Amino acid sequence: MSVMSGSDQLHVVTSDDITPGRVRFGKSLVWGAAAVLALVALAQFAQTAGWYDFGFDTWRPTLYAYCLWATALCWAQVITRGEHGKRTLFVLPAALFVISLTVFPLLFGLIIAFSNWNLSSLSGRQFNGVANLVQMWNDPFYWNALGNMVIYVLAILVEYAIAFGLALILAGQIRARKFWRVAFLMPLMLSPVAVSWMIGKSMLEPRFGPLARLARSLGIENPSFFESPWMAKLTIMVLDAWTFIPFMMIMLLAGLQAIPKELQEASRVDGATGWKSFWEITFPLMLPVSVTAILIRIIFKLKLADIVITVTSGGPGGATDTVTSFIFREYRERSNVGYGTMLAMVYLVLIVIAMTVLMKFANRLTKPRT
Amino acid sequence: MTDTPVQIFRDSDTDRGFRMKWWASRTAIYGVLAFWAVICLFPIYWTATTSLKMAPNVMQGQMVPFPQSWTPEGDWAKKLFYAPKWKGWESIGLSPQTLSQESTVRAEFLKRFGNSTIVALVSSTLAVVLGAMAAYGLSRFRYKWAWLKNDDILFFFLSQLILPPVVLALPFLVLYKELALLDTRIGLILLYTLSVLPIVIWIMKDQFETIPTELEEAALVDGLSIWGAFLTIIVPIALPGMVAAFILSLVLTWNEYFFAALLTSTHANTLPVMVASQTGSQGINWWSMAALSFAAILPLIVIGVVLERFIIKGMAAGAVK
C-alpha cells in the first residue's frame, strides 16, 4: 500500500467569494435535513414502540431520510466552501457510502453480539451479556474452524511456490504466450459454486468421476476424496488453490516483467546462471511484490466459504470447516443471529491482530537493507 | 593443417551438447505449460461435455462427444466416444428443441441469470464511479478531516478488504429485515458495491498517479472547473484503468455466493445460489447440473478470453511500484 508523495499533487489558488448568506443557506440545508432525519427516526421509533401509528411499516422512510441528509451534506459542501467543497465532493460520497455500510452495521453488530436473538422466534432480542462469549469458549467446533483457517492459510506457501514457477515460465521466452496466459487465467474467472460442482462433486465423485478413475488406474482402490479428515482438508485446499493460483501468478508476472532486463543481463555477464541468478537477483527483487501478493491472498483466503459450504458443508465432522462456513451453518440450523455475530466479531478481532502483525513483519522483510 | 578438422569437430561437439540442453529445457518448459493448461482447462471441458451426456455415458466414463454415424468400429472407440444428446440442456430449457417452446425451467433460469447480470453490472458501475472519484481526489488534493489525512483516508478505504463478509452478514440480515431490503436486488447491489470498492480504489489510484498533473493545470488555466477537467480530460485518459477495475468487479460480483445465499430467497436469487441449491438435492442428474454450471460460467469464460488484458492490467496494478 503506497505512501503518497506530496509533490505530485495539484495546487491551484482559487478565489471564491462566498457571501455569509450562502454559508447560512448551506448550513441550514444540512441541519434541516438532519432535523427531518431525526423526526422520521423518532416517528419510526414511536411506531415500533407502539405509541402512535404513523403508517410506517418498515424503517424504509428513515433510510430515505438518511439518503436525503447525505445528499444535502454533499451539496452543502459546495455551497458553503466553494472550490474546496468541490474537492471534498470527490471523496465524500465514497466515504459516506462506506461509513454507512460498515461502521453503522458493525456498531449494530456489537449490540447483536451480546444478545440472544432467534430470528424465527417471536420473543425478539434479549440482552444476555457475555453468555455468547462463554458459549464460544466452550464450542470445540469454533476452535476447530479457527485451527483449520491456520492450516488453510499455511497452504498459501505452496500456492505461492507454484504461482512463482508458472510466472517465471510465462515471463520467459515462449511461444503463444497469450494463449497460455488466457488458459492459466481461466480458473479465476469461474464462480466457486460452479467449480465446486464441476470438480468437487463430479470430477471427484468416487464412482464415475474422472479423477477417481485415474486414481483407480494408478492402483488406488476405493479412492475417496472427502472421507478421511485430512484428505478432505487437502481436497478443499487443492480446489481453492486451483481457483486462486492464477491471481498470484498474474501479480508475480507483473512484478517479473517490471524487473529491468539489464540487471539479469549483468548477472549473466558476471557468470551467475540458473539457480544462482534466481536466488541472488530475481527473488530479492521480487520480494515486495511477493509480500503484497501473499498478503492479499491471505485476505482472500480468510474469506473462504463458498467451496466448503457447497462441497462438504464442513464435513466430515467439521474437518473442512472455515470460520465463515461454520457461522453460516450455525445460523442456518438455529437462526440465532446473536451467537453467530459474536463468533464473527471475535474472528474479526483475531484477523485484525494477525494482519497487523503480518504487515509489520512484511514491512521489515521488504525494507531491511538501509 | 591437420589441426583444423579436429578444431571443427570439437566445436560441433560442444555445440551439439548445447543444443541438446536447449531442446531438453524447451521440452520441459512446454511440458509444464501443457500440463498446467490441462489442469486449468480440463474441468471446463469436462463440464461442457458432461452436459451432452446420458446416464450410460456417465457410468462408462466416455470422454469425447462424437456423432454416432462417424464413430469408428472397435472397443477403444466405444470407450472413448459417445453420441452427444441434448438431455442436460433440455432440463434448463435451452436445447435446440425446447428453445422455441414455452418453458418454465428456462424462465426460472433466465430470471436468475437476469438477477445476476443486473446486480453485477449495477454494483460494478456504482463501485467504479464512487471509487474513481475517491481515488482521484486522494491522488490530487490534500484533505484533512478531523485527524484524518490522505493516507489515513486511503487506509480506511483499503482496510475494508480485510473485513470478512461474515462479520457484516448477520447485522445486515437484521437491518435489511427492518428496512424491507431482504430478498431485493438493491440490497445485494449495495453490499456488492461495498465489497469491491476497495479494489476499485486501489486500481484507480494507481492509474491516476501515472497521469501528470500538468494536464489539469492547463485545463484549469483554460477556464475549466475542477470537475470539468476531471470529466473531460482525466476520465478519458484513465479509461483503461476504469475498464480493468470494472471487469474485475464484474467477475467478483457475478461469482459472489455468500451474501446472496443469506440475503435472498425467492425473488433476487442470483445464479450461484441457483447452482448451489441444485447441488444440495440428491438425485440431480449430472447432465442437467453440468448444463446449468456451464451456462453459469460461460459469460465469464467469454469475458476472460476477450478482455484478458484488462483483467491482467487490473490485477497487476499495485503489484509493481
Tens-place pLDDT, residues A191-241:
888 888 888 888 888 778 888 888 888 887 777 888 888 889 999 999 999
Q: Coil, helix or strand for A9?
A: coil
Which position has the higher pLDDT, B223 or A148? A148
Nearest-CB residue to A90 (from B61, B137, B303): B137
**Are residues A352 and B162, on separate chains, in Cβ contact within 8 Å?**
yes
The confidence band for A260, taking pLDDT boundaries of 50, 70 and 90, is confident
**Contacts with A299 from chain B: Cβ below 8 Å:** 161-162
Nearest-CB residue to B286 (from A108, A202, A331): A202
Distances in whole angstroms, Cα of residue A302 to Cα of each of A340, B116, B198, B272: 17, 25, 17, 20
The confidence band for A6, taking pLDDT boundaries of 50, 70 and 90, is very low
Do both B182 and B276 map to the same domain? yes
Q: Which grid cell sits at B298?
A: 460461460
The range of the structural domain enclosing residue B232 comes to 102-316
Nearest-CB residue to B162 (from A93, A305, A355): A355
User: What is the model's pLDDT at position B92?
Assistant: 80
Among the candidates B36, B66, B90, a domain finishes at B90
Per the CATH hierarchy, to which homologous superfamily does domain A137-366 belong? MetI-like (1.10.3720.10)
Which strand (E) or helix (H) includes residue A126?
strand A125-127
Do both B250 and B312 map to the same domain? yes
Do both B193 and B301 map to the same domain? yes
User: What is the model's pLDDT at position A240?
Assistant: 92
- How many residues in chain B? 321
CATH number of the domain bearing residue B281: 1.10.3720.10
User: What is the model's pLDDT at position A2?
Assistant: 37
Nearest-CB residue to B170 (from A208, A242, A340): A340
Tens-place pLDDT, residues B146-155:
888 888 898 8
Do both B110 and B78 map to the same domain? no
User: What is the model's pLDDT at position B113?
Assistant: 92
Is A214 in the B-facing interface, judged by CB distances under 8 Å?
no
Model confidence at B275: pLDDT above 90: no
> What single letter denotes the amino acid at residue A308?
V
Do both B116 and B70 map to the same domain? no
Among A62, A68, A149, A139, residue whose Cα is nearest residue A342:
A139
User: What is the model's pLDDT at position A14?
Assistant: 64
Average pLDDT over residues B167-181: 87
Tens-place pLDDT, residues A80-127:
888 888 888 899 999 999 999 988 889 888 888 888 887 777 677 778
**Are residues A194 and B156, on separate chains, in Cβ contact within 8 Å?**
no
- Please tell me the pTM assigned to this model: 0.88
Among the candidates B65, B90, B115, a domain finishes at B90
Tens-place pLDDT, residues A309-342:
888 887 788 888 899 999 998 888 887 888 888 9
Model confidence at A71: pLDDT above 80: yes
Do both B265 and B144 map to the same domain? yes
User: What is the model's pLDDT at position B88?
Assistant: 79
User: What is the model's pLDDT at position B36?
Assistant: 93
The whole-angstrom separation of Cα B76 and Cα B79 is 5
Question: A49 vs chain B: nearest CA distance in angstroms?
Answer: 14
Residue B297 domain-assigned (yes or no): yes
Residue contacts between A and B (CB atoms, under 8 Å): 319
Residue B242 domain-assigned (yes or no): yes
Interface subset of A 61-90, CB within 8 angstroms of B: 63, 83, 86-90
Is A288 in the B-facing interface, judged by CB distances under 8 Å?
yes
Do both B134 and B257 map to the same domain? yes
**Contacts with B150 from chain A: Cβ below 8 Å:** 4
Nearest-CB residue to A341 (from B30, B36, B170): B170
Residue B97 domain-assigned (yes or no): no
Nearest-CB residue to B319 (from A109, A183, A293): A293
**Contacts with B155 from chain A: Cβ below 8 Å:** 1
**Are residues B197 and A98, on separate chains, in Cβ contact within 8 Å?**
yes
Do both B308 and B254 map to the same domain? yes
Print the SS3 string covering chain B.
CCHHHHHHHHHHHHHHHHHHHHHHHHHHHHHHHHHHHHHHHHHHHHHHHHCCCCHHHHHHCCCEECCHHHCCCCHHHHHHEECCCCHHHHCCCCCCCHHHCCCHHHHHHHHHHHHHHHHHHHHHHHHHHHHHHHHHHHHHCCCEECCEEHHHHHHHHHHHHCCCHHHHHHHHHHHHHHHCCCCCHHHHHHHHHHHHHHHHHHHHHHHHHCCCCHHHHHHHHCCCCHHHHHHHHHHHHCHHHHHHHHHHHHHHHHHCCHHHHHHCCCCCCCHHHHHHHHHHCCCCCHHHHHHHHHHHHHHHHHHHHHCHHHHHHHHHCCCCC
How much helix, strand and coil, in percent to the nearest 5, is found in chain A?
75, 0, 25
The confidence band for A368, taking pLDDT boundaries of 50, 70 and 90, is low
How many percent of chain B have pLDDT more than 90?
Answer: 25
Model confidence at A57: pLDDT above 60: yes
Total domain count for chain B? 2
What does pLDDT average to over chain A? Answer: 85
Do both B140 and B46 map to the same domain? no
Average pLDDT over residues B241-251: 91
Number of C-beta neighbours around residue A212 at 10 A: 20
The confidence band for B318, taking pLDDT boundaries of 50, 70 and 90, is low
**Contacts with A86 from chain B: Cβ below 8 Å:** 225-227
Q: Buried b / exposed e across A311-346, counting CB within 10 Å, b at 16+? A: bbebeeebbbbbbbbbbbbbbeeeebbbbbbbbbbb
Distances in whole angstroms, Cα of residue A292 to Cα of each of A2, A288, A300: 11, 6, 12
Are the CB atoms for A260 and A266 separated by under 8 Å? Answer: no
Model confidence at A3: pLDDT above 50: no
When scoring B166, B201, B203, B257 by the number of chain A Cβ atoms within 10 A, the one with the most, hence best to mutate, is B166
Site of grid cell 489525512: B149
The confidence band for B37, taking pLDDT boundaries of 50, 70 and 90, is very high
**Are residues B37 and A180, on separate chains, in Cβ contact within 8 Å?**
yes
The confidence band for B142, taking pLDDT boundaries of 50, 70 and 90, is confident
Residue B141 domain-assigned (yes or no): yes
Model confidence at B38: pLDDT above 50: yes
A177-189 vs B3-50: helix crossing angle, rounded to 10: 30
**Contacts with A303 from chain B: Cβ below 8 Å:** 164-166, 258
Is A166 in the B-facing interface, judged by CB distances under 8 Å?
yes
Residue B206 domain-assigned (yes or no): yes
The whole-angstrom separation of Cα B269 and Cα B271 is 7
Model confidence at A20: pLDDT above 70: yes
Do both B151 and B64 map to the same domain? no
Do both B163 and B239 map to the same domain? yes
Nearest-CB residue to B276 (from A2, A105, A310): A310
Q: What backbone phi and psi angles, to 5 degrees, belong to B238?
A: -85, 5
The whole-angstrom separation of Cα B35 and Cα B55 is 30
Are the CB atoms for B260 and B188 separated by under 8 Å? Answer: yes
Model confidence at B116: pLDDT above 90: yes
Site of grid cell 434541516: A32
**Are residues B174 and A119, on separate chains, in Cβ contact within 8 Å?**
yes
**Are residues B257 and A310, on separate chains, in Cβ contact within 8 Å?**
yes
Nearest-CB residue to A191 (from B46, B157, B297): B297
Model confidence at A5: pLDDT above 60: no
Q: Buried b / exposed e across B171-189, counting CB within 10 Å, b at 16+? A: bbbbbbbebebbbbbebbb
**Are residues A250 and B316, on separate chains, in Cβ contact within 8 Å?**
yes
Work out the end-to-end distance of chain B between its first and last CA atoms, rounded to an integer number of angstroms.
60
Model confidence at A367: pLDDT above 80: no
Closest chain A residue to the Cα of B308, Cα to Cα = A182
DSSP state of A8: G
> What single letter denotes the amino acid at residue B140?
R
What does pLDDT average to over chain B? Answer: 84
The whole-angstrom separation of Cα B36 and Cα A166 is 9
Write down the number of H helices and E strands in chain A.
16, 2
Among the candidates B90, B119, B144, a domain finishes at B90
Number of C-beta neighbours around residue B158 at 10 A: 18
**Are residues B141 and A9, on separate chains, in Cβ contact within 8 Å?**
yes
The whole-angstrom separation of Cα B15 and Cα A369 is 42
The confidence band for A249, taking pLDDT boundaries of 50, 70 and 90, is very high
Average pLDDT over residues A161-169: 93
DSSP A40-90: HHHHHHHHHHTS---S--SSHHHHHHHHHHHHHHHHHHHHHHHHHHHHHHH
How would you classify the pairing of strands B81-82 and B64-65? parallel
User: What is the model's pLDDT at position A15?
Assistant: 66
Tens-place pLDDT, residues B193-216:
999 999 999 989 888 888 888 888
Residue B95 domain-assigned (yes or no): no
Average pLDDT over residues B120-146: 91
Do both B251 and B118 map to the same domain? yes
Question: B163 vs chain A: nearest CA distance in angstroms?
Answer: 7
**Contacts with B209 from chain A: Cβ below 8 Å:** 2, 8
How many percent of chain A have pLDDT more than 90?
Answer: 24
The whole-angstrom separation of Cα B17 and Cα B19 is 5
- Cis peptide preceding B272, ω within 30 of 0: no
Is A94 in the B-facing interface, judged by CB distances under 8 Å?
yes
**Contacts with B178 from chain A: Cβ below 8 Å:** 58-59
Residue B218 domain-assigned (yes or no): yes
**Contacts with A255 from chain B: Cβ below 8 Å:** 319-320
Print the SS3 string covering A129-195.
CCHHHHHHHCCHHHHHHHHHHHHHHHCHHHHHHHHHHHHHHHHCCCCCHHHHHHHHHHHHHCCHHHH
**Are residues B141 and A90, on separate chains, in Cβ contact within 8 Å?**
yes
The whole-angstrom separation of Cα A275 and Cα B148 is 47
